[in-house]
Amino acid sequence: MAVRLVALDLDGTALMGHRIFSERMRRAVQDALKAGILVVPATGRSYVDIPEAVRSVPGIPCFLTSNGANIVDGTGKSICTDLIPWVWGVRALRILEGYDAQPSVHMNGASVNLKTADPRIVARYGNSDYFKRHSVEDLAGYVEEQKTDVEKIFAVLFERERKAELTARITSELSLGVSASGPDNIELNSLTASKGHGLSMLCEQFGIEAAQTAAVGDSINDISMFAFAGCSVAMGNAEACLKEMAGYETEACEEDGAAKALERLISGRWK
C-alpha cells in the first residue's frame, strides 16, 4: 500500500548533530510534500525548540512535539494535547532534584530550564543553544506557581548507572510514561502520550489508515510509532531494538540516511 504520511523523527534522524538540517534532507521533504505525501516531524522537542530550518519548510501540515503530548499546526497553535497534571510535574521534578541531572520542562509549546544550567550540557548537545531557553531558579517551584499542565519533563543524566533506579522510583510514585532519546537521558510524559498515539490521532484527522503511514527514527521514544506505522525505517545509527522492529534500515544520520529513506518512499521502492 502506498505511503501517504511519514512521521519523521528529528534528533539522530533528520538533524545531524542535533541542529543541522541538510539541503538534501530539506529537498527530500519538499519532494515528498509535492508528491502528495504528508511529512510530519515527530520529535521529543517542544515546538519552539524545533530549528527554524525545519519549521520554515512550506507545506508541512503539523508538528508532533514533546513525544506526542502537543500536536501543533504550522503556526505553533495546539491542535491536540495530552499533558501531565501540573501537580505530578512538580512531584517528578522534586524527585529529579535528588539526582545528578539537568532537567527541563516543556510547557505551552516551549522549554524552560534551570538558570544553573550545567556546562556539561554543551558536551551533550555540541553547542550552547540549550542556554538560550527561558530559565528559572527553581523548576518545580515555577510549575507550581504557574499551575500549568506539562507536556514533557526531560532530564540529562550525568550518572547513567542510576537511570534504572530513577525510572523505578518515578513509575512507582507517579503514573507517568518513561522513555528516552539516548542512553544519558530520561523523558517523562503522560501515560497515554507517545509518538505512536500522536500518529494515530493524525491518521484519524487526515483520514489515513495506519497501513498508509511510515515512521523513520532511531531512539527508544520512536518505538510506539514503529509499532503503529505500516512501514518502519530504522536509521543506521538506531538503537538495536528499533532495528529489530523495522521493516527497512537506511544509512546513518550523518550520511543523510533519513533523506535517502524519504527518496525511496517517494519512488515506491519501500512500501
Question: 157-198, pLDDT tens digit by residue?
Answer: 999 999 999 999 999 999 999 999 888 899 999 999 999 999
pLDDT surpassing 90 at residue 115: no
Angle (CA) 57-60-66 rounded to 5° is 100
Backbone angles phi, psi at 116, to 5 degrees: -90, 40
Using the structure block, give the residue that is written with the C-alpha cell 550525568.
158
**pLDDT value at 122 more than 70:** no
Q: What is the pLDDT of residue 119?
A: 74
Predicted TM-score of the model (pTM): 0.93
Return the pLDDT at 123: 67
49 confidence band (pLDDT: 50, 70, 90): very high
Q: What average pLDDT does range 132-137 have in this prediction?
A: 82
Rounded percentage of the chain residues whose pLDDT exceeds 90: 85
DSSP 165-205: HHHHHHHHHS-EEEE-SSTTEEEEEETT--HHHHHHHHHHH
Classified as helix, coil or strand, 210 is: helix
CB 257 within 8 A of CB 236: yes
Is the backbone of residue 89 left (phi > 0), alpha (psi -120 to 50) or beta? Answer: alpha
pLDDT band at 19 (very low <50, low <70, confident <90, very high): confident
For the stretch 241-254, pLDDT in tens is: 999 999 999 999 99
Taking residues 37-61, report their average pLDDT.
96
pLDDT bucket at 70, cuts 50 / 70 / 90: very high
Mean of all residue pLDDT scores within the chain: 94
CB 198 within 8 A of CB 70: no
| Other CB atoms within 10 Å distance of the CB of residue 120 | 11
